[in-house]
């Protein structure tokens, strides 16, 4: 088991896709992390061999941290990361790192559907880390340290936090209709062309609606002892929850907003005031970690909040904002959610997941 030192950060970590939108957020967060120290950075062959400050088209509002300015960016190959205890990934192809027996905390979509790979939103389902031992044992050859743990799509992340809070308080949610207004940064850099997004809304994001609809079931589901051992998530048990998503790209830089309407299995359903209280009181079932928000959900009382420009840095982007909780004349209750797509929707989630894995003794 790796040790947390009170003397300062000692756990060496690497970042794949370090020059990209998510990679830059990782670097900003890791530069001052109490446990993790950046040891290796990887990007494409375009960037490899250059100092980070020359390779990255830095788009953060704080300067490039001095700890990485002169770090030479590597090709994304496991041998350059062999001394890292943790690899954070903003890269689609990160399976080779698991095969090299490295623990990978991935933002990419590729492994999310794998029944042996946990899909974890740290404010919701860190209990799913129990899957990791089985994933290691089933790998050919079996792994001692390596695994892949994915975090969710950034829009799914914002949705499942309030849904989990509602299910914890009131039992199963039966149906959910969600309409997203997603920031441009969700598409990476340079993202959507300016002539497509300025003065406009684009009512399509490839693959996004499907991800919201199935990822939600896996995240809110339970780990079950299936036919082949502890391998599957109990998606069947989630069948009563039906999710319908409509996704839109809007001219906002950071912060995915969405309107959510739910129907509860429980009749009569909770009132909007009970829903407000349950959301504000929600505490994730996770150990206390340095990067976790003190409050997972902030409930706004003002009629015109949350708003991306005002609320996306709630808890340094690690918390979720909810507002306009009200009765729905068709289903039961409707509300607005805002989550920072590059923070809790990406890098912050991976970092909290890694902190939980350290505390649970999974990293060694
Ligand atoms: N942006 C967001 O809000 C979210 C993104 N994600 C996911 O995170 C991942 C990264 O997204 P994002 O940072 O936005 O993307 P960007 O396009 O901004 O960055 C891509 C990064 O990957 C590197 N890269 C590209 N191709 C290769 C390659 N062939 N080999 C090695 N490195 C490569 C790039 O390096 P170089 O600079 O050298 O080209 C760059 O560092 C994606 O899977 C995305 O879906 C998940 C949640 C939210
Ligand atoms: N597709 C999301 C970003 C994201 O999270 O993607 P993925 O599910 O591939 O990680 C967006 O454009 O806003």
Q: In this structure, what DSSP letter does residue 346 have?
A: I
Give the Cα separation of 208 and 169 in Å (integer).
28
Question: Could you tell me the fold of the domain covering 11-153+347-359?
Answer: Rossmann fold (3.40.50)
CA dihedral 359, 290, 153, 124 (to 10 degrees): 60
CB of 92 within 8 A of CB of 108?
yes
- Testing ligand 2's pocket by substitution, the residue of 25, 208, 342 carrying the most ligand atoms inside 8 A of its CB is 208
Paired with 149 in beta bridges are 105
pLDDT (mean) for 95-111: 94
pLDDT higher than threshold 80 for residue 281 = yes
pLDDT (mean) for 65-92: 96
Whether ligand 2 lies within 6 angstroms of the CB of 107 is answered as yes
Pick the atom of ligand 1 nearest to 18's CA. 41
The CATH H-level superfamily of 154-340 is Dihydrodipicolinate Reductase; domain 2 (3.30.360.10)
pLDDT (mean) for 246-274: 98
* pLDDT, tens only, 302-347: 999 999 999 999 999 999 999 999 999 999 999 999 999 999 999 9
Catalytic, out of 84, 256, 289, 300: 256
* pLDDT, tens only, 200-251: 999 999 999 999 999 999 999 988 877 665 555 677 677 779 999 999 999 9
pLDDT bracket for residue 194 (50, 70, 90): very high
- At 216, which helix (H) or strand (E)? helix 208-220
Tokens 């729905």 — which residue?
A: 328
Pick the atom of ligand 1 nearest to 17's CA. 41
What is the layout of strands, in order, in the sheet containing 333-339?
Answer: 242-249, 173-182, 256-264, 333-339, 320-327, 297-299
Q: Report pLDDT for 270.
A: 98
3-state helix, strand, coil in the chain (%, to 5): 30, 25, 45
pLDDT bracket for residue 352 (50, 70, 90): very high
CA of 45 from ligand 1 middle (Å) equals 13
Give the Cα separation of 319 and 244 in Å (integer).
24
Whether ligand 2 lies within 6 angstroms of the CB of 15 is answered as no
- Testing ligand 1's pocket by substitution, the residue of 44, 73, 106, 184 carrying the most ligand atoms inside 8 A of its CB is 44
Q: Report pLDDT for 284.
A: 93
Paired with 259 in beta bridges are 179, 336
pLDDT higher than threshold 90 for residue 4 = no
Residue 256 is a catalytic residue: yes
**Percent of the chain residues topping a pLDDT of 70:** 97
Q: If 0-12 CB within 10 Å is exposed, 13-18 middle and 19+ buried, where does residue 142 land?
A: exposed
The pTM score is 0.96
Catalytic, out of 154, 176, 247, 289: 154
Pick the atom of ligand 2 nearest to 182's CA. 13
**Percent of the chain residues topping a pLDDT of 90:** 88
Judged by average pLDDT, the poorest of 51-55, 230-234, 292-296 is 230-234
For the chain, where do the domains classified as CATH 3.40.50.720 start and end?
11-153+347-359
Looking at this predicted complex, what is its ipTM?
A: 0.96
Pick the atom of ligand 1 nearest to 76's CA. 31
Q: Report pLDDT for 231.
A: 55
For the chain, where do the domains classified as CATH 3.30.360.10 start and end?
154-340
Q: Report pLDDT for 232.
A: 58
Q: Report pLDDT for 225.
A: 78
Give the Cα separation of 244 and 179 in Å (integer).
8
pLDDT bracket for residue 84 (50, 70, 90): very high
Q: Report pLDDT for 236.
A: 65
pLDDT (mean) for 95-113: 94
pLDDT (mean) for 174-196: 96
Q: Report pLDDT for 54.
A: 98
pLDDT higher than threshold 90 for residue 89 = yes
CA of 186 from ligand 2 middle (Å) equals 6
The ligand 1 site (C-beta within 6 Å) comprises: 17-23, 43-44, 46-47, 76, 90-92, 107-109, 154, 185-186, 188-189, 341-342, 345-346
Residue nearest atom 10 of ligand 1, based on CA coordinates: 90
Q: Report pLDDT for 172.
A: 94
Closest C-alpha to 89, from 26, 37, 152, 34:
26
Closest C-alpha to 237, from 167, 286, 158:
167
Q: Report pLDDT for 115.
A: 86
Q: Report pLDDT for 83.
A: 97
Q: Report pLDDT for 178.
A: 99
């Amino acid at each position: 088991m790796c040790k947390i030192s009170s003397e300062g950060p000692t756990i060496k970590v690497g970042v794949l896709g370090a020059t990209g939108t998510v990679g830059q957020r990782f670097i900003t967060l890791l530069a001052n992390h109490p446990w993790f120290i950046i040891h290796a950075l990887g990007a494409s062959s375009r960037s490899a061999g250059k100092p980070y400050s020359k390779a990255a088209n830095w788009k953060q509002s704080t300067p490039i941290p001095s700890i990485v300015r002169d770090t030479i960016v590597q090709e994304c190959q496991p041998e350059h990361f062999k001394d890292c205890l943790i690899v954070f990934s903003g890269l689609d192809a990160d399976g080779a790192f698991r095969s090299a027996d490295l623990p990978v905390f991935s933002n990419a979509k590729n492994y999310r559907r794998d029944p042996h790979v946990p899909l974890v939103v740290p404010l919701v389902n860190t209990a799913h880390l129990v899957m990791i031992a089985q994933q290691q044992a089933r790998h050919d050859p079996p792994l001692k340290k390596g695994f892949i743990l994915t975090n969710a799509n950034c829009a799914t992340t914002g949705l499942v936090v309030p849904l989990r809070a509602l299910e914890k308080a009131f039992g199963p949610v039966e149906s959910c209709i969600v309409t997203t207004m997603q920031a441009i940064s969700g598409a990476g850099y340079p993202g959507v062309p300016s002539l497509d997004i300025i003065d406009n809304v684009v009512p399509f994001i490839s693959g996004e609606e499907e991800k919201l609809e199935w990822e939600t079931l896996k995240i809110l589901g339970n780990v079950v002892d299936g036919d082949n051992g502890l391998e599957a998530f109990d998606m069947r048990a989630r069948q009563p929850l039906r999710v319908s998503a409509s996704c839109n790209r809007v001219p906002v830089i950071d912060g995915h907003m969405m309107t959510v309407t739910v129907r509860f299995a429980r009749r009569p359903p909770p009132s909007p005031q009970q829903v407000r209280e349950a959301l504000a009181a929600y505490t994730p079932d996770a150990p206390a970690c340095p990067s976790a928000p003190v409050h997972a959900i902030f409930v706004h009382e003002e009629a015109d909040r949350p708003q991306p420009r005002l609320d996306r840095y709630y808890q340094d982007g690690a918390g979720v904002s909810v507002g306009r909780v009200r009765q729905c004349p068709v289903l039961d209750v409707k509300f607005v959610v805002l989550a920072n797509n590059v923070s809790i929707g990406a890098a912050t989630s991976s970092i909290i997941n890694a902190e939980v894995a350290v505390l649970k003794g999974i990293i060694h």
